[in-house]
Amino acid sequence: MKMIRGFLISLQFLTALPINMSLPMDKTHIEKSIQSFPLLGLLQGALYTSLLYVLIEWTPFSSVAIAFMIWLCTIIITGGIHLDGWMDASDAFFSYQDKGKRLEIMKDPRTGAFGVLSVLILLGSRFLFIYEIIGFVSGLSFYLIIFIPFLSKVVMGTVLLRVPAAKKDGLASFFKKAGNSSTLKIYPVYLVALLSFIAFIDIHFILPALTIVVVALGCSFFIQKKSVTWFGGITGDVLGASTEGTENILWMTLWLLHYFVMG
């Protein structure tokens, strides 16, 4: 039951799905929420790939229309919460100020020019990746799409607990205090289970899947290092930006796999 409540907490905080119920916010349940981040990503991936399959197989819509619907779904499900972090972190980063000033900029509710430009580039490139993936789509594509939000949530949870907080208050600090070194031990279990499932479907699917996993690990190491260098640690905005950036890199990886490996 604690894991279920933790998953529901993740749904409340990280998606726009209506979870109209009072949930316990003690340390134990917040830790379970962190452990359920990848499961939330798995749910998102299942929704994306199911919608894509339905639109391709059972509707007369063009590839552009289908790509737009999948692209829009990636925004609607999260309610734009991570995109807000991407814009705030972009404004702070491109200010080229010291760490303290960057934290102040992220607190500012106003969005600057760099935040607008960065989100246009992020979403524009994501639409390109999704559209071209649809042009190459195969049975393997549907399985690999599931990996994208799953791994981005793995990265988010890992960065949350392995990088020091940049400030003592805020949502990231609140969640971070509930975790410890053993909280993340369940993440490799999820990953092995998902890779085993892919291998069971077809052993030839494992190489593209492992490629996406390796890229996600690279994103995780990069973010862990640079979030301290650039911002002095993590905040809710930095975590949101990390999630969106990782997800976009993984969409790009799947796009390139279709050109050079799966094509």
Comparing C-alpha atoms, which of 179, 174, 173 is closest to residue 161? 179
Q: How many domains does the chain have?
A: 1
- Per the DSSP assignment, residues forming a β-bridge with 143 are none
Determine the structural domain holding residue 14 and report its residue range: 2-260
Confidence label for 263 from pLDDT (cuts 50, 70 and 90)? low
pLDDT at 30: 93
Range with the poorest average pLDDT among 99-108, 165-174, 176-185, 242-251: 165-174
The CA distances from residue 110 to 8, 73, 92, 227, 230, in Å, are 30, 25, 12, 22, 20
CA–CA dist 202, 60 (Å, integer): 30
- Alpha carbon dihedral 224, 225, 227, 232, in 10-degree steps, equals 120
Comparing C-alpha atoms, which of 208, 183, 176, 180 is closest to residue 195? 208
Query: What mean pLDDT is predicted for residues 178-190?
Result: 92
Comparing C-alpha atoms, which of 148, 16, 168, 5 is closest to residue 82? 16
